[in-house]
Amino acid sequence: MNDYTLTIKSDEKKGVLDDITDVITEYGANISYVHLFIEKNNVGSINLELDHVDDIDELISALNDIEEIKSVELHGSQLDIYGKRIIIVGGGAQVSQVAMGAITEADRHNIRGERISIDTIPLVGEKPLAEAIEAISRLPRVSALVLAGSLMGGEITQAVKNVKEKSNLIVISLNMPGSVTEYADLIITDPIQAGVLAVMSIADTAAFDIKRLGDNIHF
């Protein structure tokens, strides 16, 4: 194993992040994900996911030699802990029904060792929905998006198109008027079934392969 996740607590001072990245570079590791924020008492918390690490013990020792570092903890990655991520956006009633199907199906797979988490955000309006969809490209671990609404087009459609061009994101849409369905990998009338199939489309423990549907994507 040469992929690791570190949580570093440090004094919140200028130049600390530079010192940390210099050490990581010196040991030939690559930063694949980073999240940082300020805790109470002016303590910086830096979560780093690293790959290509040859000697994690030496790397941690070198990080601890930095004067401003208070602690370095080694633990599982966000992907190991929370797994693949499904995001459901749209109107509140539809979102809740899709979530019901997704959570029920995710439970079946997670008890067999899979890790799939479900995020929801009920939103109304073309611009808020388009912004939320565009932001998916900046979020980690997202494997599938479910569009749960009754009418979506315009800026929303463009946002879906842009996100799909940047990633292998699976997009499932409820059957609705509007141009957004043109860019969906699967169009489903029943919101509960949409949630179920969203999970099945990304689960390693499922036999379902969305790519095998070809043009037969309306259910």
Q: CA angle at residue 119 from 113 to 122, to 5 degrees?
A: 155
* Cα distance between residue 49 and residue 158, in whole Å: 32
Residue-by-residue DSSP string for 147-184? EE-S---THHHHHHHHHHHHS--EEEEES-SSGGGGG-
Q: Looking at residue 78, what is its pLDDT?
A: 86
Chain-centre distance for alpha carbon 115: 12
Q: Which residues contact 52 (CB under 8 A, 6 or more apart)?
A: 2, 28, 29, 30
Nearest to 10 by CA among 75, 93, 78, 69: 69
Mean pLDDT rounded to a whole number for the chain: 92
Q: Looking at residue 80, what is its pLDDT?
A: 86
Q: Could you tell me the domains of the chain?
A: 4-76 (3.30.70.260), 80-213 (3.40.50.10550)
Q: What is the mean pLDDT of each run of 10 residues along the chain (219 residues)?
A: 88 93 94 91 92 92 96 90 95 94 96 95 94 94 95 96 93 95 94 96 86 68
Nearest to 156 by CA among 169, 141, 139, 173: 173
Nearest to 11 by CA among 50, 54, 67, 58: 67
Q: Looking at residue 218, what is its pLDDT?
A: 67
- Residue pLDDT, tens place only, 61-74: 999 999 999 999 99
Token pair listed for 185 = 């990998």
> What's at 24, amino acid-wise?
I
Q: Looking at residue 3, what is its pLDDT?
A: 83
Q: Looking at residue 219, what is its pLDDT?
A: 60
Q: Looking at residue 43, what is its pLDDT?
A: 93
Q: Looking at residue 213, what is its pLDDT?
A: 75
Residues above pLDDT 70, as percent of the chain: 97
**What pTM does this model have?**
0.85
* Cα distance between residue 26 and residue 108, in whole Å: 44
